[in-house]
Amino acid sequence: MPVTSDTQTADLNSHRPSSPLHDLMYGHVYASALRAVALHGIADQVADTPRPVADLAEQAGLDAGALRRVLRLLAARGLFLEDADGAFALTDAGQALRTDAADSQHAAVLLFTDEMFRSSAEGIESTLRTGEPSFDAVHGRPLFDHLAATPDKSRLFNAAMTSLTTGVNEQLTRACPFPEEGTVVDVGGGRGGLLREVLTAHPDLTGILFDQPQTVADHLLDTGELRGRWRTQGGDFFTTVPEGGDLYLLKNVLHDWPDEDCLRILHTIRRAVVPGTRLLVIDAVLPGNGTPHPALALDMVMLMTLKGRERTAAEFEDLLATAGFRLHRIVPTEALSSVLEAEAV
């Protein structure tokens, strides 16, 4: 049947916009499409110039028709742009999919679309009934035990955590009230990305990176600029942390744990310090009044994978007070997290 003139002039975008319900209903489809292009490095292929789908498919060994449909879906979400000739390019929002981008989120995409998290998300219904993380039921062990037993997943997890904090550590360093001199102890500091930023920005500070031995062994501190100003120490922050620091950091640690374990960590730090020692807790702080916050999605990840949670200012203040710290102020940042400044009493 020939196309009529009426059809030719019809507004093909006159349909109702997608509803929040349908966006959520298809959420797993978007995530799977995102994972597929990340696995095949499509963003790297279009980093500099738009490229026809046929070229992209040939280079990656993919079916051109299927690839176009996947990219078209992601273009509708603002990550790619299709031009009039059918070539695709990255948008500004999609640049972080590149593996070589300064703020690359490639590893984070692969982690949070990995079967570890997909299967845990599918198990949220059981979490609603039991209150227990669905990850444990699906994988037969807690998340961190699973990572310790699966080196490839552990490497992906560490790479994703590094990518998530790229750029963020610089923002946090600007926002945090650091002293001009003294020793900063980064408790549960991972590979030391934040501590590296802090020591670089404050040349008279020294630092101690404290985390599990296998984590600090892969640290990021060995640069010429920082030579002689840091050391690493492996251990368990539930039992001990380095003593004698002037300032202690807890970045994205407390949200991994339920209140009772948070208190164990905080009590361990309190035993290691003298009154007046400052503690900076860096975590998302929920509004507590029903206002939407981007960390609500992260809170759901905590629900399904760990027994941790995102907390309100009042909940943080209660935890700190119980462990012997007084909360002085909360400093918002450009990042997802805020900085809670407390002092040992």
Q: Which of 102, 54, 20 is nearest to 71 (CA)?
A: 54
**SS3 state of residue 335:** coil
The answer to whether the CB of 142 falls within 8 A of the CB of 306 is yes
Q: Which of 170, 302, 214, 50 is nearest to 311 (CA)?
A: 302
Burial zone of 208 (CB within 10 Å; 0-12 exposed, 13-18 middle, 19+ buried): buried
Is 40 part of the annotated catalytic residue set? Answer: no
> DSSP strand E in the chain: where?
51-52, 80-82, 87-90, 182-187, 205-211, 230-234, 247-251, 278-283, 285-286, 311-312, 325-331, 338-344
Binned at pLDDT 50, 70 and 90, residue 3 comes out as: low
For residue 276, the cross-strand partners are none
Binned at pLDDT 50, 70 and 90, residue 149 comes out as: very high
Q: Is 11 a residue whose pLDDT tops 80?
A: no
| Domain parsing of the chain, residue ranges | 18-98, 108-155, 167-344
Q: Among 139, 146, 219, 255, which one carries the catalytic annotation? A: 255
**pLDDT given for residue 334 in this prediction:** 85
Q: Is 46 a residue whose pLDDT tops 70?
A: yes
**pLDDT given for residue 205 in this prediction:** 96
**pLDDT given for residue 30 in this prediction:** 96
What average pLDDT score do residues 34-50 get?
95
**pLDDT given for residue 7 in this prediction:** 52
What average pLDDT score do residues 177-204 get?
94
**pLDDT given for residue 12 in this prediction:** 63
**pLDDT given for residue 290 in this prediction:** 83
Q: Is 124 a residue whose pLDDT tops 60?
A: yes
Binned at pLDDT 50, 70 and 90, residue 9 comes out as: low
**pLDDT given for residue 2 in this prediction:** 53
Binned at pLDDT 50, 70 and 90, residue 158 comes out as: confident
The Cβ of residue 297 has, within 10 Å, a number of other Cβ atoms equal to 10
The CATH fold of domain 167-344: Rossmann fold (3.40.50)
Distance CA 284, CA 246 (A): 24
The CATH fold of domain 18-98: Arc Repressor Mutant, subunit A (1.10.10)
**pLDDT given for residue 289 in this prediction:** 86
Same fold, 18-98 and 167-344: no
Q: What is the pTM of this model?
A: 0.85
Q: Is 4 a residue whose pLDDT tops 60?
A: no
Where b means 16+ CB within 10 Å and e means fewer, 251-278 reads bbbbbbbebeebbebbebbbebbeeebb
What average pLDDT score do residues 217-232 get?
92
Q: Is 269 a residue whose pLDDT tops 90?
A: yes
Mean pLDDT value across the chain: 92
Q: Is 15 a residue whose pLDDT tops 80?
A: no
What average pLDDT score do residues 323-329 get?
97
Of the candidate ranges 23-27, 115-119, 163-167, the one whose mean pLDDT is the lowest: 163-167
**SS3 state of residue 274:** coil
Q: Is 1 a residue whose pLDDT tops 60?
A: no
Distance CA 136, CA 127 (A): 10
**pLDDT given for residue 48 in this prediction:** 86
